């Protein structure tokens, strides 16, 4: 699997309130949540970001709440993945369960700037910065996780497994 | 093989004699919970997968506390999802408005989560129950859905970090100050994926309410769990409440900790976390002059009876400063009743504070005390992220209940001794 998109750079400790403020958690509709994605970090983000774009952030992305609405809003807003130096524990687990691709890459987190065009080779764990020509490394996503992402998350995955029995 | 308390509990629940950090295990859970934000997604997942059972209707709690009492139609619809699901599956522990409380104060009080348990909750502050000597951790809604069906969850066994507190706590200094100091020292990802074990002579003397406050905020350092070995203080709290049997575990003296932090706290004064991070901590006397608009005393961190008692001691015979709004929210119905019986509520109303039925509302900017642009609040809650309590241009200062109450009276952030 290969992805290509423009990078949007955020800092360290982007919390779940910044990703999707609690005032919008009166709904779990992905489209509604997508409309407010990253709103308190950058109020214009949803207008500026295009389908397939990539969030790049520093340490501890997704710290704070257990709300799955956070990865849901990022995915529903059309972002293809999040690359960060590191992720908060609950967010990490939720992202895979929701079918949002996330990649840890301290190299990419240190170097990538907003506007850089990135190409991500998910199988090989290589991130290519098409703007600067730099290459960064991340762990390849194992086949099980890729399958989880392909079907759209843990529950569709479980359903597919059940129907195959 | 020597093990930490967390490792012992996880080993026991996964049917193993020993576990090591980084082991992937599947553990049986003793209890699971969700609230009106996280449970609707879990219930949707539960239905989509076509589940035909819950693992145990007596070991799941649904607590509508975040946007309840319903603040609008959308939140009413979310709470209804919980109500309907609880009826459909005969869940014993569904807590309706009037009978409910802030979940992490309510479940220990009702004796539903106990020492030695493995508990998961679709709420990050589920780690609160570590104060009882349980391994409790926050998960997402999908994990809750799977756990409600199977009664099992997979975990990676966390490394444990040991925090030792020595000395004697001064006046107006408590568990909240210890945890704020700790997060200030190690940072918001200082315990990422780890279990934080709190020990030492100070913890031995610490009342349960303060222990709950400390474990509650372990997640603010990124931890998977906060935990305190159960002792006579725990026993005193649990006996008479426990709805089932429980077990005390302790770390072996030679158990392996990834790191050990040790502090003498005797000279500590109350701590305050400045905007916009729970790690941005300073002693109260070193806070620049800060005029405030609002005070909130409540939440799963500091809405317990002892917290209200502290606030009442300061507010008694005094008034909230002109221009300040002070919200006081007993965390559960039992706490509310005790505060009523002992005259605390009258003290609060006399001081011109607003007293509310239990809700998480203001802590997460949900309802009951939203901040406008440019406003500043002192709160006994757990997070001061940008925009957490309202407008993205508002500010939250986290403190213990004594500092919060004193600041309400002074109209600016003060040490209680300044009154």
Which CATH number covers residue A148?
A: 3.20.19.10
CB nearest to B385's CB, from A18, A25, A154: A18
Spatial contact of B317 and B349, defined as CB atoms under 8 Å apart: no
Asked whether the predicted pLDDT for residue B54 surpasses 80, the reply is: yes
Q: B140 contacts in A (CB within 8 Å)? A: 66-68, 90, 93-94, 97-98
For B67, the closest chain A residue by CA position comes to A26
Say whether A90 and B138 touch across the interface (CB within 8 A). yes
pLDDT in tens, B79-95: 999 999 999 999 999 99
ipTM given for this complex: 0.93
Burial of residue B238, with CB atoms counted within 10 A of its CB: 0-12 exposed, 13-18 middle, 19 or more buried: buried
pLDDT grade for B135, boundaries at 50, 70 and 90: very high
Asked whether the predicted pLDDT for residue B248 surpasses 70, the reply is: yes
Asked whether the predicted pLDDT for residue A161 surpasses 80, the reply is: no
Confidence at residue B49, expressed as pLDDT on a 0 to 100 scale: 87
Asked whether the predicted pLDDT for residue A165 surpasses 90, the reply is: no
CA distances from B360 to B36, B124, B160 (A): 11, 13, 30
Confidence at residue A26, expressed as pLDDT on a 0 to 100 scale: 94
Which residue in A143, A137, A46, A124 sits closest to A85, CA to CA? Answer: A137
Asked whether the predicted pLDDT for residue B367 surpasses 90, the reply is: yes
Q: A45 contacts in B (CB within 8 Å)? A: none
Domain boundaries, position A82: 2-163
Q: Look-up: residue for tokens 């004796």?
A: B111
Non-local (6+) Cβ contacts of B288 within 8 A are none
Residue numbers belonging to the annotated binding site of B: 300, 360, 363
Confidence at residue A159, expressed as pLDDT on a 0 to 100 scale: 76
For A40, the closest chain B residue by CA position comes to B392
Instruction: Select from B32, B37, B49, B140 the residue whose CB has the most chain A CBs within 10 Å, as the one to mutate to test that interface.
Output: B140
Confidence at residue A147, expressed as pLDDT on a 0 to 100 scale: 87
Say whether A159 and B145 touch across the interface (CB within 8 A). no
Q: B366 contacts in A (CB within 8 Å)? A: 22-23, 25
Q: Which of A136-145, B132-141, B389-398 has the lowest mean pLDDT?
A: A136-145
pLDDT grade for A109, boundaries at 50, 70 and 90: very high
Asked whether the predicted pLDDT for residue B381 surpasses 70, the reply is: yes
Which residue in A52, A16, A50 sits closest to A33, CA to CA? Answer: A16
Say whether B45 and A155 touch across the interface (CB within 8 A). yes
Spatial contact of A38 and A82, defined as CB atoms under 8 Å apart: no
What average pLDDT does chain A have? 94
Say whether A68 and B193 touch across the interface (CB within 8 A). no
For B48, the closest chain A residue by CA position comes to A155
Asked whether the predicted pLDDT for residue A148 surpasses 90, the reply is: no
For B370, the closest chain A residue by CA position comes to A23
Spatial contact of B195 and B284, defined as CB atoms under 8 Å apart: no
The reply to whether the predicted model has a pTM over 0.90 is yes
Instruction: Select from B385, B392, B396 the residue whose CB has the most chain A CBs within 10 Å, as the one to mutate to test that interface.
Output: B385
Instruction: Select from B147, B189, B216 the residue whose CB has the most chain A CBs within 10 Å, as the one to mutate to test that interface.
Output: B189
- Tally of structural domains, chain A: 1
Q: What is the DSSP code (8-state) at residue B188?
A: T
Which residue in B184, B392, B191 sits closest to B284, CA to CA? Answer: B184
pLDDT grade for A156, boundaries at 50, 70 and 90: confident
Which residue in B399, B379, B406, B380 sits closest to B315, CA to CA? Answer: B406
Cis peptide bond upstream of B149, omega within 30: no
Asked whether the predicted pLDDT for residue B354 surpasses 80, the reply is: yes
pLDDT in tens, A48-83: 999 999 999 999 999 999 999 999 999 999 999 999
Say whether A88 and B222 touch across the interface (CB within 8 A). yes
For A94, the closest chain B residue by CA position comes to B140
Confidence at residue A155, expressed as pLDDT on a 0 to 100 scale: 83
Which pair of structure tokens corresponds to residue A69? Answer: 């609405």
Non-local (6+) Cβ contacts of B175 within 8 A are B206, B209, B210, B211, B212, B213, B214
Asked whether the predicted pLDDT for residue B170 surpasses 90, the reply is: yes
Share of chain B above pLDDT 70, in %: 100
Q: B41 contacts in A (CB within 8 Å)? A: 28, 68-69
Confidence at residue B230, expressed as pLDDT on a 0 to 100 scale: 98
What domains are there in chain B, each with its CATH number? 5-262 (3.30.499.10), 272-418 (3.30.499.10)
pLDDT grade for A164, boundaries at 50, 70 and 90: low
Say whether A69 and B41 touch across the interface (CB within 8 A). yes
Asked whether the predicted pLDDT for residue B243 surpasses 60, the reply is: yes
Share of chain B above pLDDT 90, in %: 99
Q: B78 contacts in A (CB within 8 Å)? A: 26-28
Interfacial A residues in 103-132 facing B (CB < 8 Å): none
B167 Cα to chain A: minimum distance (Å): 31
> How wide is the angle at C-alpha B247 spanned by C-alphas B246 and B249, nearest 5°?
150
Say whether A66 and B78 touch across the interface (CB within 8 A). no
User: What is the number of CB-based contacts under 8 A between chain A and chain B?
Assistant: 121
What value does the mean pLDDT take over residues B168-191? 98
Say whether B123 and A63 touch across the interface (CB within 8 A). no
């Amino acid at each position: 699997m290969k992805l290509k998109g423009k990078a949007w750079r955020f800092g360290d400790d982007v919390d779940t309130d910044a990703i999707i403020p609690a005032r919008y958690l009166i709904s779990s509709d992905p489209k509604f949540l997508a409309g407010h994605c990253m709103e308190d970090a950058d109020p214009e983000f949803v207008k500026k970001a295009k389908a397939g774009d990539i969030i790049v952030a520093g340490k501890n992305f997704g710290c704070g709440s257990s709300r799955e609405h956070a990865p849901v809003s990022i995915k529903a807003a059309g972002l293809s993945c999040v690359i960060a130096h590191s992720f908060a524990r609950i967010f990490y687990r939720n992202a895979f369960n929701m079918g949002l691709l996330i990649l840890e890459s301290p190299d990419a987190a240190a170097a990538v700037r907003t506007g850089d065009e990135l190409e991500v080779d998910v199988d090989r764990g290589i991130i290519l910065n098409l703007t600067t020509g730099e290459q960064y490394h991340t762990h390849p996503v194992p086949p099980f996780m890729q399958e989880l992402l392909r079907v759209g998350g843990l529950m569709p995955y479980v359903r597919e497994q059940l129907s195959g029995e | 093989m020597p093990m930490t308390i967390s490792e012992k509990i996880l080993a026991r629940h996964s049917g193993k004699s020993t576990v090591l950090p980084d082991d992937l295990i599947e553990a049986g859970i003793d209890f699971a919970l969700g609230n009106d934000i996280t449970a609707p997604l879990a219930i949707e997942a539960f239905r989509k997968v076509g589940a035909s059972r819950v693992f145990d209707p007596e070991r799941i709690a649904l607590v509508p506390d975040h946007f309840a009492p319903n603040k609008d139609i959308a939140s009413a619809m979310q709470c209804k999802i919980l109500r309907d699901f609880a009826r459909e599956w005969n869940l014993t522990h569904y807590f309706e408005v009037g009978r409910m409380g802030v979940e992490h104060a309510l479940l220990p009080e009702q004796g539903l989560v106990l020492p030695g348990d493995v508990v998961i909750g679709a709420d990050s502050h589920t780690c609160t129950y570590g104060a009882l000597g349980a391994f409790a951790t926050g998960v997402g809604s999908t994990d809750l859905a799977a756990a409600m069906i199977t009664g099992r969850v997979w975990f990676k066994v966390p490394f444990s970090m040991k925090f030792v507190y020595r000395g004697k706590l001064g006046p107006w200094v408590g568990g909240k100050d210890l945890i704020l100091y700790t997060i200030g020292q190690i940072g918001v990802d200082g315990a990422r994926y780890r279990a934080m074990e709190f020990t030492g002579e100070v913890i031995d003397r610490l009342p349960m309410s303060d222990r709950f406050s400390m474990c509650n905020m372990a997640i603010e350092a990124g931890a998977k769990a906060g935990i305190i070995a159960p002792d006579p203080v725990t026993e005193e709290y649990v006996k008479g409440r426990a709805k089932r049997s429980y077990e005390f575990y302790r770390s072996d003296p030679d158990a392996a900790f990834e790191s050990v932090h040790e502090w003498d706290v005797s000279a500590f004064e109350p701590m305050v976390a400045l905007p916009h991070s729970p790690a941005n901590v300073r002693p109260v006397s070193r806070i620049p002059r800060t005029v405030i608009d609002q005070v909130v005393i409540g939440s799963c961190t500091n809405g317990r009876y002892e917290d209200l008692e502290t606030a009442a001691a300061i507010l008694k015979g005094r008034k909230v400063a002109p221009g300040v709004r002070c919200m006081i929210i007993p965390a559960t119905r039992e706490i509310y009743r005790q505060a009523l019986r002992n005259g605390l509520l009258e003290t609060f109303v006399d001081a011109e504070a607003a007293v509310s039925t239990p809700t998480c509302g203001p802590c997460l900017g949900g309802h009951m005390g939203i901040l406008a642009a440019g406003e500043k609040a002192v709160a006994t809650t757990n997070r001061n992220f940008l925009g957490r309590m309202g407008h993205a241009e508002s500010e939250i200062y986290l403190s213990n209940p004594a500092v919060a109450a004193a600041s309400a009276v002074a109209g600016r952030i003060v040490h209680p001794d300044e009154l």
